[in-house]
Amino acid sequence: MSTATADTHTEHDPHATNTGISNTKLAMWLFLGTECLLFGGLISTYLLYKTRGNGKTLPTDIFDIPFTSVSSFVLLMSSLTMVLALSALQRGDVERSRGWLLTTAMLGGVFVGGQVYEFTSFYREGIGFTTNPASSAFFTLTGFHGVHVSLGILMLMSLVVASMQGRLKPQNAETVEIVGLYWHFVDIVWIFIFTVIYLIPAE
Amino acid sequence: MSESATDTAVGADDTDDDDHAHHPSDAEYIKIALVLALITGVEVFTYFESVLDWGAFLIPSLMVMMVVKFWLVARMFMHLKADKPILSQFFVTGIVMAVAVYMVTLLAFNFF
Amino acid sequence: MAIIEEPLALESGQADIAERPLGVMTRPQEGNGWRDWLSSVDHKRIGIMYGVAAMFFFIVGGIEALLIRTQLAFPEQGFLSPQLYNEIYTMHGVTMVFLFIMPLAAAFANYLIPLQIGARDVAFPRLNALSFWIWISGAIFLNSSWLVGGGGADCGWFCYSPNSGVIFSPSHGVDFYAIGLLIAGIASLVSSVNLIVTVLNMRAPGMTLFRMPVLTWMLLVTQFLLAFALPVITVALFLLLFDRVFDSQFFDPEAGADPLLWQHLFWIFGHPEVYIIILPSFGIISEIIPTFSRKPIFGYSFMVFSGIAIGFMGWGVWAHHMFVSGIGPISVLAFSLSTMFIAVPTGVKILNWLATMWGGKLRFTTAMLFAVGTVGMFTIGGLSGVTHALAPADTQQTDTYYIVAHFHYVIFGGGVMGLMAGAYFWWPKIFGHMLNEARGKIHFWISMVGLNLTFGPMHVLGLQGMSRRIDTYSEGFGFAFWNLMATIGAYIIAISVAYFIYNAFRSRKEAVDLPNPGPDPWDARSLEWSIPSPTPAHNFDEIPTVESQDEWWHRKYAFDENNNVIRIATPEEAAQKGDGEGVHLPSPSFWPLVLAVGLPLIGYGIIFNLWLCVLGGLLTAGAIYSWALEPVDDPNAGHGHGDHGDDDDPDDHSDDEGDAVAVGADDSAGDA
């Protein structure tokens, strides 16, 4: 922000904000705060409906906890690779950062692949999207989460491509940080879902 | 929505957010990841009830472990520990509001 | 609007527009043609577009209202079939809430927030444009239901299950409702994030949060409400949509689902929504009343904190819309209590407005009339609201016209009158001429008569037992007389709106022969009055340094030794001149518009043909990438300052959201 003398160097300072935080970072955190309301609604809907099977199979009947544990672990580790990507870029190591970004995207892809496998095997075991309230709620919740992960993968791959074109440089580290925030949030949501939906057994 | 001390200053006085003294190193990140993996292992372990009967402790333990993981990722990976408080405030506000309204709703459904 | 100047030579070392990633992208320059409005990222133009579009939908919703009232003017009329009646009253509500009053408030928010905090634009100018274009495409999509959807939605604006399901609402109306509101919701969510970041990050030096005008505070609280409430209705709308389109089982009681889930989710959003509706008007009159009382707002801190309190407490009252839905006595008791409490902060505000006027040197301009009218009408609506808070009483009142009376008094009497006050107050700042005062006063009085004649009798009708949402009533109930009065009142409101529009056009025509009103025709108190009228493209020549609340006032007046107010400068002397020499502004962009067009295509695709989804999705995705890749600014746009310093790489497009640019910073800190 400039002072009364408009031509001082501060007017040119792109980082000058009242809070000292960049606009984008502030915006992303605010957005993540609002996403809590979105996922909260979906989770609550599932919790309300998780025992309402309408005489048919419930998701809790056919959870494959070992399988889901592995994919949860994969997503968790992708948060590590994400933060390593950021750290590498901040250090100036563009190549390494690109590698970690790609790894993060791939781990995310493994997670999504696991979700798809899980959904199709559920379907074969008699639970589809429209089977009963419990299944509708389960697939909507995990589906929304999966879509969020997929969008994250798209963003990560866009960064990888940008990096390959030489357009992702250390001074752009904040962009990676912002994408990282989104990615970690999506991971955090899954931490919540894994515990509350999968591990806490049905009554 | 707290007023930052840098409010009246022209621009931020400690400028770049990325520039923190307490920037965890890669080694520290890996350590945190190992802790997260360990906790996940314990969580999954609870599934195999035959080994250990958790009884009434099960759900509280799972919740605690979940919160710890959540907290580690938010504080360390997402850097909230080193960032300005307003970012945590946004996030916590979202979480608190979500928990509050949805728990009240579930209460209204006699869920508990 | 960029100040178009002779392109200066770029700093040595910077190539001229070297890299265009896809070979075709440049940023347009801004002028005054219609295409410039389509690509504008200027918060003022966006605000004007919101306002004009909102007034258009006011008329649409108003016609729907007149149809309702015409049908109900006499008992047992068949003017509208029951089905059509349901569609009309549903769309009346949806249109008025989502397509009129929210965007009209957004118009003021967009136009005024940067000016009141001393900024040149919002944090993310392109996202700002995106919000507008997404909103209006959602609005058009929603209304296209009449043409291609088999009619409007017919479930009421609150669209309760299971009535909203395919069995009871077989046309596509409800699908259009769900998707249309989802689209419009994206617009508001994006806008709320934008404005919050703007207020928190882009205030002028010295403008602490507690020196901001009350309007900015109320708008800030509104944005937080929007940001956190919209995701909840998003969930609800998706669940509804999935039930209707995919036959999921969220609201089907026979499958074991609970329709009450919809009610909770809807009203968790719906109650903060009504504070979203009213807080901007509260903010507006908090600027107008002090101006025309020639006194600062009484109890600034109380005004701020009560606004914040309303924002918080508004989250704890939602089930007062559900007292008779079977939630049980404990829930009813809890929400009844919380609802009673929320009257307190609002009462604080009313007292403070009155205290501001007390002992002040009152001037009853049209804006002041509307502002005082707002206080009065909202108080009436608020009193009936307090009676609803008492659950046993509400059991009698709910689903009757007594409720209809309440919410129209608060929304129309409170919300709309406040926005009208704002229109008369800021018109000279926005358009460079005043709205005619004599005609404005006529407009005010016609509105007051119309509003009270329409909604006053509804209290009586409700207490006499007339149900809501009925398409007609029988002869013998005794409802006929007041219904006829209400219908006459509705037509009087229509006349008042027509008269306002007439005033707008006529005043513009007459303004040609009148002198410019100058920067500060009202002798007002906040920073937007310190710059020329109409606002120059760049807002401020120099970003002001702020030293107190009512900063502008203190540049014109001071206190002498005896604590009397003395003038130290006239507005013309103290105001900025409007020379935008060398101010660099964010460049326009077409991508927000293109992106916005993709969304209704996806919507049509969900309803009619999934291939349209693919098309819409590609358009949206393509627009997102093009947006991210377009040059941060047109290198040919005028810069003015010779001293760029070491700018970031101008071809750096990887920062797709980017930082604020509009604070006069003229390097390539990207705009978004």
What's the complex ipTM? 0.94
DSSP, collapsed to helix, strand or coil, labels residue C161 as: coil
Cβ neighbors of C653 (< 8 A, separation 6 or more) are: A162, A167, C21, C628, C629, C630, C631, C632
Cβ neighbors of C163 (< 8 A, separation 6 or more) are: C155, C156, C169
Q: Do A33 and B70 touch (CB under 8 A)?
A: no
Quick: pLDDT tens for C48-89.
999 999 999 999 999 999 999 999 999 999 999 999 999 999
Q: Which tokens sit at C576?
A: 């900025």
Nearest CA to CA, how far is C238 from chain A (Å)? 9
In a domain, A168, yes or no: yes
Nearest CA in chain B to A8: B10
Q: Do A130 and C542 touch (CB under 8 A)?
A: no
- C27 pLDDT above the threshold of 90: no
Cα–Cα distance for residue pair C481/C484, rounded to 1 Å: 5
In a domain, A55, yes or no: yes
* Domain match, C532 and C617 both: no
* Mean pLDDT for the stretch of residues C324-347: 95
Quick: pLDDT tens for C448-484.
999 999 999 999 999 999 999 999 999 999 999 999 9
- C238 pLDDT above the threshold of 70: yes
Decide: C143 and C53 in contact? Cβ < 8 Å: no
Task: Tell me the chain B residues in contact with residue C261 when contact means C-beta distances shorter than 8 Å.
Answer: 109
Nearest CA to CA, how far is C606 from chain A (Å)? 16
Strands (E), chain A: none
Cα–Cα distance for residue pair A176/A193, rounded to 1 Å: 25
Indicate the pLDDT class of residue B86, thresholds 50, 70 and 90.
very high
Cα–Cα distance for residue pair C627/C197, rounded to 1 Å: 20
* Domain match, C555 and C407 both: yes
A67-71: which pairs have CB atoms within 8 A and are 24 or more residues apart? Answer: A67/A114, A67/A117, A67/A118, A68/A114, A68/A118, A68/A194, A68/A198, A69/A194, A69/B40, A69/B43, A69/B44, A69/B47, A70/A114, A71/A110, A71/A111, A71/A114, A71/A115, A71/A118
Residue C653 confidence (pLDDT)? 39
Residue A103 confidence (pLDDT)? 98
In a domain, C653, yes or no: no
Nearest CA in chain A to B108: A48
In a domain, C38, yes or no: no
* Domain match, C610 and C476 both: no
Cα–Cα distance for residue pair A159/C666, rounded to 1 Å: 26
Quick: pLDDT tens for B31-83.
999 999 999 999 888 877 656 677 778 888 899 999 999 999 999 999 999 99
Q: How many domains does chain A have?
A: 1
Q: Do C197 and A23 touch (CB under 8 A)?
A: yes
CB atoms near residue A54 (< 10 Å): 16
Nearest CA to CA, how far is A96 from chain B (Å)? 12
In a domain, C160, yes or no: yes
Quick: pLDDT tens for C103-151.
999 999 999 999 999 999 999 999 999 999 999 999 999 999 999 999 9
Cα–Cα distance for residue pair C317/C375, rounded to 1 Å: 23
Block means of pLDDT (10 residues each) for chain A, length 203 residues? 37 72 96 97 97 94 93 96 96 96 98 97 95 97 98 97 95 96 97 93 53
Nearest CA in chain A to C648: A171
Residue B50 confidence (pLDDT)? 58
CATH of the domain at A170: 1.20.120.80
Mean of all residue pLDDT scores within chain C: 91
Residue B24 confidence (pLDDT)? 84
Q: Does C512 touch chain A (CB under 8 A)?
A: no
- C665 pLDDT above the threshold of 60: no
Task: Tell me the chain B residues in contact with residue C265 when contact means C-beta distances shorter than 8 Å.
Answer: 105
What's the distance, CA C128 to chain centroid?
Answer: 13
CB atoms near residue C480 (< 10 Å): 17
Cα–Cα distance for residue pair C553/C294, rounded to 1 Å: 10
- Of the candidates C197, C246, C257, the beta carbon closest to that of A129 is on C246
Cα–Cα distance for residue pair C291/C283, rounded to 1 Å: 13
Cβ neighbors of C575 (< 8 A, separation 6 or more) are: C518, C519, C520, C529, C530, C531, C532
- B6 pLDDT above the threshold of 80: no
In a domain, C631, yes or no: no
In a domain, C31, yes or no: no
In a domain, A184, yes or no: yes
Q: Do B8 and C200 touch (CB under 8 A)?
A: no
Phi, psi of C565 (to 5 degrees): -80, 125
Which helix H or strand E contains C619, and what residues bound it? helix C610-629
- C440 pLDDT above the threshold of 60: yes
* Domain match, C437 and C406 both: yes
Indicate the pLDDT class of residue C494, thresholds 50, 70 and 90.
very high
Quick: pLDDT tens for C144-190.
999 999 999 999 999 999 999 999 999 999 999 999 999 999 999 99
Nearest CA to CA, how far is A151 from chain C (Å)? 11
* Domain match, C515 and C609 both: no
Task: Tell me the chain B residues in contact with residue C210 when contact means C-beta distances shorter than 8 Å.
Answer: 3
Cα first-last separation, chain C:
15
* Domain match, C181 and C303 both: yes
Nearest CA in chain B to C232: B98
Q: Which tokens sit at C106?
A: 């957004």
Phi, psi of C567 (to 5 degrees): -80, 135
Chains A, B: CB contacts within 8 A come to 162
- C13 pLDDT above the threshold of 60: no
* Domain match, C513 and C609 both: no
In a domain, C180, yes or no: yes
- B54-78: b (≥16 Cβ within 10 Å) or e: eeeebeeebeebbeebbebbbebbb
In a domain, A15, yes or no: no
CB atoms near residue A7 (< 10 Å): 14
The A residues from 65 to 104 touching B (CB cutoff 8 Å) are: 65-66, 69, 72-73, 76-77, 79-80, 82-84, 87, 90
The C-alpha angle C436, C437, C439, rounded to 5 degrees, equals 75
Q: How many domains does chain C have?
A: 2
The A residues from 37 to 56 touching B (CB cutoff 8 Å) are: 37, 39-41, 43-44, 47-48
C-alpha pair distances (Å), A43 with each of A49, A138, B106: 10, 9, 11
Q: Do B8 and C205 touch (CB under 8 A)?
A: yes
- C643 pLDDT above the threshold of 50: no
CATH of the domain at C457: 1.20.210.10
Instruction: Please report all neighbours of B, defined by 3+ CB atom pairs within 8 A.
Output: A, C
Q: Does B8 touch chain C (CB under 8 A)?
A: yes
Cα–Cα distance for residue pair C92/C411, rounded to 1 Å: 13
- C296 pLDDT above the threshold of 70: yes
In a domain, A192, yes or no: yes
- Residue C298 is part of which domain span? 43-536+542-575
Residue of B111 and A31 predicted with greater confidence: A31
Whose structure tokens read 């520290």? B28
Residue C253 DSSP symbol: G
Residue C634 confidence (pLDDT)? 57
Residue C18 confidence (pLDDT)? 40
Decide: C131 and C53 in contact? Cβ < 8 Å: no
The number of CA neighbours under 13 Å toward the Cβ of A192 is 23
Quick: pLDDT tens for B8-29.
434 444 444 444 446 789 999 9
Indicate the pLDDT class of residue C580, thresholds 50, 70 and 90.
confident
- Residue A53 is part of which domain span? 22-199
In a domain, A5, yes or no: no
The B residues from 3 to 62 touching A (CB cutoff 8 Å) are: 4, 6-7, 10-18, 23, 25-26, 29-30, 32-33, 36-37, 40, 43-44, 46-47, 58-59, 62
* Domain match, C553 and C612 both: no
Q: Which tokens sit at C262?
A: 């919809």
What's the distance, CA C528 to chain centroid?
Answer: 19
Residue A185 confidence (pLDDT)? 97
* Domain match, C600 and C569 both: no
Residue C2 confidence (pLDDT)? 34
- C501 pLDDT above the threshold of 50: yes
Chains A, C: CB contacts within 8 A come to 177
What global pTM score does this model have?
A: 0.91
Lowest mean pLDDT among A45-49, A113-117, C553-557, C559-563: C559-563
Mutate to test the interface with B, among A60, A188, A194 (most CBs of B within 10 A): A188
Cα–Cα distance for residue pair A75/A191, rounded to 1 Å: 9
- Of the candidates B13, B62, B70, the beta carbon closest to that of A200 is on B62
